[in-house]
């Protein structure tokens, strides 16, 4: 009898143990699912990022260098917009069609606006053709306009990629066309290397493009382009981004950014959409069809908008508690009021309050004169739970702290008297043992 009860007791204990273990395993799996949702993306790599903070909300093989095809053009867009901003070129500048651009225009299966020798087009019209119609001929012509030649421009592209922290990127052409398809115009200085870019790097570039040049979205959101408008032979083309209004995969809030396709890259897309002040950046690479890249992007956007919210922690111009001023040397004043340059936002899951604490890391050895608006530090976020796009931004919000007023340089007499007062103050403190 005793043996029978012992056996039953052991069996009951084992059952309870197995039940508890099952519950714990389910909870663990649920937690893992919460951190890394299974979106079942049919891609080689993908990433989802909140634009204002640069925080990664989802990733799938984000650091594999892959052929980016025409997503390469985002870097060309950046450098053209930078050249316009720096007055190196002007929107209204007329650019004659070069032999190289004409050669590219005649390539079979190459997206373009069929540039002809003897034509000239304004920089703005060429930019629209590149950003909307993914025109390879317009792209190489812009590269030549900015840098004199495509090889020179490609050097600028790779330099800018390094500056932006794009560690898994190499550019061989301005358009994303494979180097081995360019015949007599193929680059010769790359030792056989061709265009590659990781999903993370594509997101870094997209974020920099819309942060530094918000007007880029004014072009990328245009669903249809008429090139040579008002002439005898206008050319009408739809944007390759079918998620824009009125196109086959329309998705509310999408206003960019760049598609890409080559036989090796397959179908790629760097997208961006905004809802309720929440802007998401998506990248999918290596999908199997033109439609599939938008289907997979929709999964990312649906997940992002249904799961996360952006909360404003502080308004632009506010100070961080405990860091209201920064020390200044050789100034009329010894401190300068410190405020944030833009709104401080935080991304978190809907229904969950974040526990992020904001502090400030001031620049070392601030010396007068300092002008109002000068960057004097960076916001640091503690208690962070999300990965940042770039390692250099880890634990930083990406928001500058700036001077709220001017601090003039002190005269030598003022500095002399200040040093004398400091000297005697130190002596007095030493004498009293303080």
Summarised one tens digit per residue, pLDDT across range 125-144 is: 999 999 999 999 999 999 99
Predicted local confidence at residue 169, as pLDDT: 98
In this structure, are 282 and 327 located in the same domain?
no
Which residues of the chain register pLDDT less than 70?
Answer: 1-36, 108, 353-354, 393-397, 414-415, 417-418, 421-434
* Structural domain boundaries, residue 216: 45-309
Question: Structure pTM?
Answer: 0.83
Tally of domains in the chain: 2
In this structure, are 170 and 58 located in the same domain?
yes
In this structure, are 304 and 326 located in the same domain?
no
- First-to-last alpha carbon distance for the chain, in angstroms, is 83
Please check whether residue 332 lies inside any domain of the structure. yes
Please check whether residue 233 lies inside any domain of the structure. yes
In this structure, are 93 and 195 located in the same domain?
yes
Return d(Cα 61, Cα 101) in angstroms, integer.
35
Predicted local confidence at residue 330, as pLDDT: 86
In sequence order, the β-bridge partners of residue 258 are: 270
Nearest to 83 by CA among 170, 153, 158, 163: 153
Active site members:
70, 73, 134
Please check whether residue 275 lies inside any domain of the structure. yes
Residue 185: CB atoms within 10 A of its CB come to 17
Return d(Cα 216, Cα 270) in angstroms, integer.
14
Return d(Cα 311, Cα 345) in angstroms, integer.
5
In this structure, are 145 and 277 located in the same domain?
yes
Per-residue DSSP letter, 346: E
Predicted local confidence at residue 426, as pLDDT: 66
Last residue of a domain, one of 279, 309, 339: 309
Please check whether residue 22 lies inside any domain of the structure. no
- Between CA 217 and CA 224, with CA 222 as vertex, the angle to 5 degrees is 155
Beta strands in 383-424 (DSSP E): 396-403
Please check whether residue 124 lies inside any domain of the structure. yes
In this structure, are 304 and 188 located in the same domain?
yes
Please check whether residue 433 lies inside any domain of the structure. no
Residue 8, judged by CB atoms within 10 A of its CB (0-12, 13-18, 19+), counts as: exposed
Residue by residue, DSSP assigns 177-224 as --GGGSGGG--SSSTT---EE-HHHHHHHHHHHHHH-TTHHHHHT-SE
Q: Are 225 and 128 in contact (CB under 8 A)?
A: yes
Predicted local confidence at residue 395, as pLDDT: 59
In sequence order, the β-bridge partners of residue 261 are: 267
Last residue of a domain, one of 309, 327, 355: 309
Per-residue DSSP letter, 264: T
Task: Say which CATH number the domain at 262 has.
Answer: 3.40.710.10
Please check whether residue 25 lies inside any domain of the structure. no
In this structure, are 299 and 372 located in the same domain?
no
In this structure, are 357 and 213 located in the same domain?
no
In this structure, are 202 and 329 located in the same domain?
no
Using alpha carbons, list the distances in angstroms from residue 206 to 117, 201, 279, 280. 33, 8, 12, 11
Q: Are 58 and 64 in contact (CB under 8 A)?
A: no
Task: Say which CATH number the domain at 329 has.
Answer: 2.60.410.10
In this structure, are 257 and 350 located in the same domain?
no
In this structure, are 293 and 346 located in the same domain?
no
Last residue of a domain, one of 253, 274, 309: 309
In this structure, are 346 and 297 located in the same domain?
no
Please check whether residue 1 lies inside any domain of the structure. no
Per-residue DSSP letter, 322: T
């Amino acid at each position: 009898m005793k043996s029978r009860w012992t056996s039953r007791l052991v069996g009951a204990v084992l059952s309870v143990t197995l039940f508890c273990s099952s519950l714990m395993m389910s909870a663990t799996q649920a937690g893992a699912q919460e951190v890394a949702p299974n979106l079942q993306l049919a891609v080689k790599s993908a990433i989802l990022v909140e634009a204002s903070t640069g925080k990664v909300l989802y990733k799938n093989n984000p650091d594999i260098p892959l052929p980016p095809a025409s997503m390469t053009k985002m870097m060309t867009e950046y450098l053209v917009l930078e050249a316009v901003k720096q007055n190196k070129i002007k929107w209204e500048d007329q650019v004659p069609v070069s032999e190289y651009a004409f050669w590219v225009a005649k390539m079979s299966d190459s997206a373009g606006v069929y540039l002809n020798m003897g034509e000239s087009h304004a920089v703005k019209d060429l930019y629209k053709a590149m950003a909307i119609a993914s025109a390879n001929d317009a792209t190489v012509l812009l590269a030549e306009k900015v840098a004199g030649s495509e090889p020179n421009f490609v050097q600028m592209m790779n330099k800018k990629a390094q500056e932006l922290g794009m560690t898994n990127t190499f550019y061989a052409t301005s358009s994303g066309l494979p180097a081995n398809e360019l015949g007599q115009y193929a680059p010769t200085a790359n030792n056989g290397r061709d265009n590659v870019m990781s999903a993370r790097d594509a997101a870094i570039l997209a974020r920099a493009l819309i942060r530094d040049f918000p007007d880029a979205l004014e072009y990328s959101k245009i669903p249809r382009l008429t090139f040579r408008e008002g002439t005898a032979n206008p050319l009408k083309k739809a944007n390759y981004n079918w998620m824009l209004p009125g196109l086959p995969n329309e998705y509310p809030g999408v206003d960019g950014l760049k598609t890409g396709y080559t036989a090796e890259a397959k179908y790629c897309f760097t997208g961006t959409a905004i809802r309720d002040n929440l802007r998401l950046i998506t990248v999918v690479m290596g999908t199997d069809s033109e439609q599939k890249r938008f289907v997979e992007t929709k999964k990312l956007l649906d997940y992002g908008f249904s799961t996360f919210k952006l909360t404003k922690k502080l308004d632009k111009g506010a100070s961080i508690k405990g860091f209201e001023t920064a020390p200044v040397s050789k100034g009329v004043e010894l401190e300068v009021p410190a405020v944030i340059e833009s709104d401080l936002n935080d991304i978190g899951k809907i229904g969950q309050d974040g526990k992020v604490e904001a502090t400030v890391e001031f620049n070392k050895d601030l010396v007068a004169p300092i002008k109002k608006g000068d960057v004097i530090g960076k916001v640091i976020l503690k208690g962070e739970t999300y990965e940042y796009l770039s390692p250099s931004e880890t634990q930083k919000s990406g928001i500058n702290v700036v001077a709220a007023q001017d601090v003039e340089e002190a005269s030598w007499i003022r500095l002399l008297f200040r040093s004398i007062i400091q000297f005697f103050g130190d002596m007095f403190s030493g004498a009293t043992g303080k």
